[in-house]
Amino acid sequence: MIIEGTQGFALSLLHGPDYPFVTSRDTTAAGFAMEAGLSPRQIDKIIMVIRTFPIRVGGTSGPFPNEISWEEVRLLSGAPETFPEFTSVTKRLRRVARFDIQAVKVACDYNRPTSLALMGLDRLDYANTGAIEVAKITAGARQFIHDLELSTGVHIEFLGTGFGTFDIADPEVSVPKFR
């Protein structure tokens, strides 16, 4: 069984640091298991998804440390054009921010993931767009991956390299290893 959680840990009603700018539920792995009627002891694997540039809904959705523009993301990645993101229902422009390792470490402490899925390597460097082999990922992105694993102590199982369904590099089958 796969249980997909919603929203980020920092938006948890119980643990979010910016109440009242949180969602109406607990967004931890234990909260998702409980909502599905499972004991946390029945969970074999917790994959925590994180983004190289975290997002939040647009408008007055509360504090968002290190917020930047989508144009800044384009400039940092070297992309030929700006690729902003919009909410799926209301089509509002999402807010975006720089990566925050401290926020990721806190989320790891609460959720105790068995692995991470890192999305947005194409946002770190446009040259990573669509890469499906770690060997094709830029040295800067591989360093980011290495530093993230070192900082969190959590193995990265999946690497997102774009918006396509199959834009995933699998470190387990790709070479060279980045650890």
Q: What is the DSSP string of 31-74?
A: HHHHHTT--GGG----EEEEESS-EE-SSS----TTEE-HHHHH
Regarding predicted confidence, which is higher, 161 or 28? Answer: 161
Alpha-carbon radius of gyration of the chain: 16
Per-residue tokens: 127: 């040259």
Compute the C-alpha angle 52/54/58, nearest 5°: 150
pLDDT in tens, 127-176: 999 999 999 999 999 999 999 999 999 999 999 999 999 999 987 754 44
**Out of 40-49, 80-89, 119-128, least confident range:** 40-49
User: In whole angstroms, what is the distance from residue 117 CA to residue 46 CA?
Assistant: 10
Residue 30 pLDDT > 80: yes
Asked if 154 contacts 105 with a C-beta cutoff of 8 angstroms, the reply is no
| pLDDT for 173 | 58
Question: Taking residues 66-73, what's their average pLDDT?
Answer: 97
The CA–CA distances, whole Å, from 30 to 3, 65, 130 equal 11, 26, 33
**8-state DSSP, 162:** S
User: In whole angstroms, what is the distance from residue 165 CA to residue 97 CA?
Assistant: 24
Residue 108 pLDDT > 90: yes
Regarding predicted confidence, which is higher, 93 or 40? Answer: 93
Mean predicted lDDT score pLDDT of the chain:
89
User: In whole angstroms, what is the distance from residue 82 CA to residue 74 CA?
Assistant: 5
User: In whole angstroms, what is the distance from residue 123 CA to residue 167 CA?
Assistant: 13
Regarding predicted confidence, which is higher, 175 or 59? Answer: 59
Question: Taking residues 32-47, what's their average pLDDT?
Answer: 88
User: In whole angstroms, what is the distance from residue 50 CA to residue 62 CA?
Assistant: 20
3-state SS assignment for residue 152: helix
Compute the C-alpha angle 67/125/83, nearest 5°: 60
